[in-house]
Structure 1
Amino acid sequence: MARILIVDDEPDNLVSLQAILNTHLPDGQVLTASSGRQAIDLARDHLPDVILLDVFMPGMDGYEVCRRLKEDRATARIPVVMLTAVMTETRDKVRGLECGADAFLTKPVEQAELVAQVRVALRLKRAEDALLRDMATVEDQLVDRTRELRESERRLQGIMDNLSGAAYRWQVGTDGAYRLVFVSRGCLDLLGYEPEKVQGWEALEVFRLIHPDDRPLFVELSNRALGARVPGEVFCRMKAKSGDYRWVHNRFQGITGRDGRLTAVEGIILDASQMKEAERLIRWEVSVNRDLADLARTLVAEKDPETVGRKVVRAARDLTESELGMIVTVNPHTREQDQVYATENVLERCRLWSGGDLTVCRLGPGGDYEALCGHGLNTGEPFCTNDPPGHPLWKGLPQGHVDVRRFLSVPISLNGDVIGQLMLANPPRDYTDRELRVAGWLGDLFALAVHRHREELERRRLEDQLRQAQKMEALGTLAGGVAHDFNNILSAIIGYAELGLMDLPDRHPVRECLEEVIHSGKRARDVVRQILTFSRSRPAEREPVAIGPILKETLKFLRASLPSTIEIRKDLCDEDVLVRADPGEIHQILMNLGTNAAYAMRDTGGVLTVRLETTPSAPPSRDAPHVAPGPYVKLTVQDTGEGMLPEILERIFDPYFTTKPVGEGTGLGLAVVHGIVRSAGGCIEVESAPGRGAVFRIYLPRVEVPPAEVRSDPKRAVLRGQERVMVVDDEPALVQMVRTMLSRFGYRVDAVGSPEEVLQRLREDPGCCDVLLTDLTMPGMTGLALTEKALSIRGDLPVVLMTGFGDRVDEERLKRAGIHAVLGKPFTVNKLTEALRRALERDGR
């Protein structure tokens, strides 16, 4: 809606002009003012679109009002149409226009002219307002765009300043010359050159910064991309201000004019050092993994630990580019240095090396390894230093060690124990985690090779044990068969000798010979028992025995088998003390300890001392922490040999453990001694040290034999009888001897040739005999099987079982089988008749 202000000092004029405008401009709003001051106030307050201003008014004429309106910024753009009723000269119109009036009308004004002039003024006002609005909009847009442009420039400058590389622009002249017209601030960080100092450089000056080896490829790739008008890139090394070369990635794009001519080249140079380093590390990792795989395949086929150690050291030196390399192994139990595998230059330069002796890892007073070489062994952690002289442990290195500028150490662990360490020194650049990781891998390979070597040794040991066990099993089988036949022979020898003695008077010269035959037969019986005990074919038969005589007899046998350089001293002060043991086992204890002592003194000779004494108690030991209270017999076997190391001493009772060369020992001797002593309720102590010989103290419980257990006099009267005895054995000589022996003492003997014949006679006449005397092992049917069938015919038949085998039949099995007594071969006439009487008396006869 248009707003029109009419200014006139004549009320009639205000009314008439207002009426005209209301009629022709009904949508407009007409304001009136009767003075200049009022007009200015209304114009400021309402900002009309057109002002109709009378020229001549009292106080302030129209010229002054127009001037003031035009001077006021708020009202300056309002169109002013001046009205006058006086004849106006040209100068008056000029004055009005100079004051800012837009039109000049003379009263009386035609209505049509007035309305037309007002409408023109309104159109001008609207056009001007629209123009101003457009200008304001454009100005705002310009401001916004300017602000955005400045922000974009700021961001671009920030990006340029923060780029890891340098943006640039080459201007290409019409003559083809290149001139550097722009370089971002990144140039300073990338290459050290200040941008303002390199701007203006020619192409040749920049080209000289490229590494000579990279220039041909740079020229080729640049010309190819620019010639094809496509983006290009090239990797090359550029010389920094410091003089060092850095890898850069140059990406560029040629700019062409309308005529297609190359006018500029824009691009960016990025730092490619990390990428190239990453590529180098990838290639290095691939190479390391390939070398490690090749080394692992080589080590799998390698059996010799020394060769493995040297290959691992060389590989570690090469893969880490180190100058020196060494593996040192240690004993995890004693912590003493064991082996050293070093590269040749270590042995050449180290003044500590003295013809094969290189002690690297030294134990300090506190029990820790000394200096840098001991750090990894003490902590069990990988370790490196690129400033060894500045490290606190540097001062502990001994005089004469090799020059160490950088140092790396990784421990080598196996089954939770640190068994050594891999040490490297003096690469061309600092050690990093990569070298530590590679050294760790190589240490693991060495540990794996050691583990495989130990497993191989253990496998061989187990195979040797298996072969030995198989030999022992075969020996047991053989010993059992030999013992059966030999005992049959001995039974006949001893039996006939006893029969011969019975027929001779007391002073007959042959009597002494026959007694020696019997004594020798009994010794042969004991030898058979020892063989069976050793081969495990015969369980030990422990009974109260006097240990002194057994030791004396064994020492005679031992003396014959030892060299003359070994003196035997014996001190058997309590010969008659009794222990519950098997005589063969006592013999075996002393023989095994004696032969071991002799082996320890084989080169220098010495003294073997055997001492027997009693003691009120046995000391508790690790071997038997809860020994039973009471008196003991102490057997001491001492030598003056080479002695044993602590780690050897810990394992001497392990089965198949031996320090003797292959073929000279089975590792069973001391294990057997230990087993015998433990099973007899005793314990054993050992003391030894290198160069101080060894002392074995064996404690066996002392026994006091009740009267019932005292052995009867072998010359006592033989138990006579009149019962019928049926004898069956596959050895005719033995059957004849038993028949003769029993017949002499009143027994009626029926000798039968086979088990089948026994059963046949029992079927024909179950009461044909009072007792059955049968061998255990016979062809066709065993004694147990014969007993079972015989008892099925006659359930109350007493049975005595003879056995020349070492196998002891289980007592429960004997009871179930109906055996009344067992008679071991060889036997005397007293043993035979006692067994018969026990069987008959148990049956109630």
Structure 2
Amino acid sequence: MDRLTRPGFVRYTLQNGSTTFDAFLSHEPESPLGKHPRLGSGIELTGIYTVDFDDARQARDFHLQLRTLQDVATYRAPRVWTLNRALLLCGLLAGLVVLGLIWEEMLRHRVRRQTAQIKNQLEKQAALESELERGQRLRSLGQLAGGIAHDFNNLLTGIIGNLSLAKLDKAAIAPIAPFLDEAEKSARQASELTQQLVTFAQGGAPWCVPLHLPPLLREVIDLTRRHPNIQTEFQPPADLWPINADRQQLTRAIQGLLAYGVETMPQGGEIRITASNETIAPSHNLPLKPGRYVLIEFADCSAGIDPTRLAALFDPYTTTTFGDTRFGLAIAYSIVQRHGGHLAADSELGQGTCFHLWIPAATEQPSQPGESPLTPARIAGMRVLLMDDDESIRRLGERILRRLGCAVSTATHGKECLLLFQIAQTTPEPFDVVILDLTVERGMGGIETLAELRKLEPRVRAIISSGFAKDPVMQNPGAHGFVGSVAKPYEPQTLAHALQLARPPQTPPTV
């Protein structure tokens, strides 16, 4: 049943099978529509009907006129579940299912993203903790190495210096000259080992200047050519940035990496070296500050390393089968860290090993090499005051300086140096140059002593001396008030060179 209301009438549209007809009920304003049968109800009607016939006397239309609502009897309430309602409900359920699936997929995606973020954060934290632990271990080794290097270098100073003095008298040493040469060669190798130990000490800080990387790499590669079964390939890009590095220390680090490749390929092989520019963004997992770097990669074709052992590759305390390269890799790692860079490695068994070295790029272009302004000058007659807390070094320095024609006085510590300098200032022949040891146990070192000397003579000319050749004071003596530096172990040539640079301009050369 369908119902349509129009002014003055209520029309009922009734369906019985395929037959449809209308019934009309006069609408009484006082009779509320709420009393009429609801749509979809089954009803029985009683009223006056009329039938319209066509020309053939066939029933064409049927009308039923109802008198009151009592003529309408409801025998079945409207159906709750109709086809339209069922389809609507199915549509709603399907929509809810789709929304549920979409929400579930979004939730899964969010969980996967958060899981990946947590995993990356944990990996980054583990890497940083590993770097921190390795750095602490290397610092402890550096403290030990610093003490050993200082004492060992003092012993080498006496050995190499006295050998150099003995070799100056060529006529006297002619029969034993080959033996002295071998002794000096071994002593210099020991000195090189000392410098490697110094790398771990505080005095091993790099003195960084802008450098072109390709020439430096080619010089180191040339050293590997003594191994005829090792092939080295390096083709740098034309637009490679200059680097900011200490030439000697970075050379030693690269030598350590190449030495590892040579040792792990006893039957021969190839080491491929590549270099590229790389800008590190703030969002990265490397222990590097954001900025410009040059990435150097060393890939060999060795048997490779078990990935579980890579974390200990740069740790000199770990027992490995890499032989002497253990120490070389630890030195390389320490050098790169001190430069503000990073050294890492990846390897697979049977696939070789690849080292990744990031070194900061320079903001300025390297300076062009020029000729040294130094001209040979005789230093005989100069008055020199030498301060060192090691007696053997004082004796050696005195012998070398006297052999060079200088008048020499020696002091054990800063207070004695100040006293001798003050006394000389009252004489017609004050000291021309003072050589000060950088580190003095239980006393004033070179920097503190120079500050006190300037109170006595603001124009004092002093040379700083130390076995830590890479100490910032040794690398840039002028910034600390010195006119030059001389590294231990002493040799006649190095001392003469330093004195020539430090000679007061007003002191005329003695003929």
Q: TM-score, normalised by structure 2?
A: 0.59
Q: Which residue of 2 aligns with 1:472?
A: 138
Q: Choose from 432, 435, 439 the match for 1:770.
A: 432
Pair 1:586 & 2:477 matched: no
Q: Which residue of 2 aligns with 1:568?
A: 230
In structure 2, the CA distance between the partners of 1:665 and 1:743, relative to structure 1 (3 Å rule), is closer
| SS of residue matched to 1:186 | coil
CA contact (8 A) 1:798 1:839 kept: yes
Aligned ranges for residues 146-545 of structure 1 at < 5 Å? 147-148=27-28, 152-153=32-33, 155-157=34-36, 160-161=38-39, 182-187=74-79, 189-190=80-81, 431-505=97-171, 508-533=174-199, 537-539=204-206
Compared CA separation, residues 528 and 707, structure 1 to 2 (3 A): same
CA shift in 2, pair 1:527/1:157, >3 Å: farther
Partner residue in 2 for 1:748: 407
For residue 607 of structure 1, what is the aligned residue in structure 2? 268
2:467 counterpart (804, 810, 835): 804
Alignment partner of 1:722 is 2:381:
yes
Cα distance in 2, alignment partners of residues 670 and 499 from structure 1: 36
Quick one: distance in 2 between partners of 1:840 and 1:590? Answer: 38
Per-residue Cα deviation, 1:278-326 (whole angstroms, up to 9, x for no partner): 9xx9xxxxxxxxxxxxxxxxxxxxxxxxxxxxxxxxxxxxxxxxxxxxx
**Structure-1-length-normalised TM-score:** 0.38
Instruction: Report Cα offsets for 1:80-128 as digits up to 9, x if no partner.
Output: xxxxxxxxxxxxxxxxxxxxxxxxxxxxxxxxxxxxxxxxxxxxxxxxx
Q: Does 1:664 align with 2:300?
A: no
Query: 1:731 aligned to 2:390?
Result: yes
Measured at CA, do residues 538 and 581 of structure 1 come closer, stay the same or move farther in structure 2, by a change above 3 Å?
closer
Shift of 1:463: 0.8
Whole-angstrom CA distance in 2 between matches of 1:659 and 1:689:
10
Larger RCO (CA within 8 A; separation ≥ 6): 2
Residues 582 and 486 (structure 1 numbering): CA distance in 2 closer, same or farther, change over 3 Å?
A: farther
Q: Using the TM superposition, give the Cα deviation of residue 636 of structure 1 relative to its aligned residue in structure 2, in angstroms.
A: 11
- Note closer, same or farther for the CA distance 1:793–1:502 as it changes in structure 2 (3 Å cut): same
Provide, for residues 386-427 of structure 1, a one-character-per-residue CA deviation record: whole Å limited to 9, x for no partner.
9xxxxxxxxxxxxxxxxxxxxxxxxxxxxxxxxxxxxxxxxx
2:301 alignment partner, one of 636, 640, 651:
640
Matched residues in 2 for 1:843 and 1:821: separation? Answer: 17
CA gap of 1:517–1:636, structure 2 versus 1, over 3 A, is: farther
The equivalent residue for 1:289 is none
**1-structure distance, mates of 2:166, 2:111:** 78
Shift of 1:818: 3.5
| Counterparts of 2:299 and 2:112, CA distance in 1 | 43
Contact 2:256–2:329 (CA<8 Å) still a contact in 1? no
Q: Go from structure 1 to structure 2 and tell me whether the alpha carbon gap of 1:718 and 1:531 turns closer, same or farther (over 3 Å shift).
A: farther
Q: Counterparts of 1:839 and 1:670 in 2: how far apart (Å)? A: 38
In 2, distance between residues paired with 1:465 and 1:539? 20
1:671-699 alpha-carbon deviations (Å, 9 max, x no partner) = 969x98xx9xxxxxxxx99988789999x
Query: RMSD of the TM alignment (CA)?
Result: 5.4
Pick from 491, 500, 506 the counterpart of residue 837 of structure 1.
500
1:761 aligned to 398, 401, 420, which one?
A: 420
Q: Check 1:519–1:548 CA distance in 2 against 1; reply closer, same or farther (3 A cut).
A: farther
User: Quick one: structure 1 residues 581 and 761, their matched pair in 2 at CA, closer, same or farther if it must change by over 3 Å?
Assistant: closer
Do the aligned residues in 2 keep the contact of 1:640 with 1:693 (CA within 8 Å)? yes
The question of whether the paired residues in 1 share the 8 Å contact of 2:483 and 2:502 is answered with yes
- The 2-side partners of 1:547 and 1:448 are apart by 44
Distance (Å, rounded) in 2 between the aligned partners of 1:721 and 1:690: 64
Q: Quote the residue 1:825 is aligned against.
A: 488
Corresponding letter in the other structure for 2:269: L
Q: Quick one: distance in 2 between partners of 1:784 and 1:430? A: 81
Shift of 1:781: 1.1
- Tell me: CA distance 1:433–1:472, structure 2 relative to 1, closer, same or farther (3 Å): same
Contact kept? 2:154, 2:393, Cα under 8 Å: yes
Q: Which runs of 5+ in 2 are unaligned?
A: 1-25, 44-72, 235-244, 280-295, 316-327, 340-346, 358-364
Change (3 A) 1:749 1:437: same
Query: Counterparts of 1:449 and 1:761 in 2: how far apart (Å)?
Result: 72
- Partner SS for 2:32: helix
Which whole-Å CA distance do the structure 2 matches of 1:789 and 1:821 have between them? Answer: 18
Q: How many residues align?
A: 388
Q: How far off its partner does 1:708 sit? A: 4.2
Contact 1:739 1:749 survives alignment (8 Å): yes
Cα 1:759–1:703 shift into 2, 3 Å: closer
Using the alignment, how far apart are the partners of 1:474 and 1:587 within structure 2? 21
8 Å contact kept, 2:466–2:486: yes
Distance 2:247 2:310 in 1: 32
After superposition, residues 541-556 of structure 1 pair within 5 angstroms as none
Residues 526 and 838 of structure 1: CA distance in aligned 2, closer, same or farther (over 3 Å): same
**Amino acid of the residue matched to residue 827 of structure 1?**
Y
Instruction: Encode CA deviations 1:720-741: one digit per residue, 9 max, x unaligned.
Output: 5123222111111111111122
Q: Read off the aligned partner of 2:437 and give its amino acid letter.
A: D
Distance 1:723 1:546 in 2: 39
Distance of 1:568 and 1:508 partners within structure 2 = 40
Question: Which whole-Å deviations, capped at 9, do the CAs of 1:327-346 have from their partners, x for residues lacking one?
Answer: xxxxxxxxxxxxxxxxxxxx
Q: Is the 8 A contact 1:803 1:824 kept in 2?
A: yes
How high is the sequence identity, in percent, across the aligned residues? 20
How far 1:819 moved relative to its partner?
Answer: 1.4
